[in-house]
């Protein structure tokens, strides 16, 4: 089981790295470190669950984070990797202001 889980984590990390390379932009400001923003449909994290009972046993963050007004929320269930995929979405409870 440990090996299966490790293989899964490696696969997820590889996917995450590709997503980041493909779609993330770099933001630079004078004194701060670069911050990767999850762009478009890039997942911001994965909740790994037990296939049998769907109990979530781990959460993996992607290396990018959501842009200011967005939150990392559960988006869909990817049964091929037994994980709920999280994406950046605008918080709907908050009224928009401009
Ligand atoms: C998943 O849940 C089942 C049933 O509770 C348990 O027997 C099994 O060991 C669990 N697997 C993992 C990977 O936690």
- State in Å: Cα 52 to ligand 1 middle: 6
H-helix segments, 1-98: 2-23
13 neighbors 61 (Cβ within 8 angstroms): no
pLDDT digits (tens, 9 = 90+) for 20-62: 555 544 454 444 567 899 998 999 999 999 999 999 999 999 9
pLDDT over 80 at 11, yes or no:
no
Ligand 1: which atom is nearest the Cα of residue 57?
14
pTM: 0.61
Residues 21-47 as b or e (16 or more Cβ within 10 Å = b)? eeebeeeeeeeeeeebbbeeebbbbbb
The per-residue pLDDT for 68 is: 87
Q: Is the Cβ atom of 53 under 6 angstroms away from ligand 1?
A: yes
How far apart are alpha carbons 7 and 82 in whole angstroms? 13
DSSP letter, residue 79: G
- Mean pLDDT calculated for residue range 67-82: 95
């Amino acid at each position: 089981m440990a090996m299966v889980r490790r293989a899964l984590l490696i696969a997820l990390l590889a996917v995450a790295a590709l997503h980041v390379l493909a779609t993330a932009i770099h933001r630079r400001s004078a004194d701060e470190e670069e911050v990767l923003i999850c762009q478009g449909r890039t997942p911001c994290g994965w909740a790994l669950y037990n296939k049998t009972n769907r109990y979530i046993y781990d959460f993996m963050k992607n290396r990018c984070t959501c842009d200011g007004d967005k939150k990392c929320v559960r988006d869909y269930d990817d049964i091929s990797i037994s994980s709920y995929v999280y994406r950046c979405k605008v918080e709907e409870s908050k009224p928009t202001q401009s």
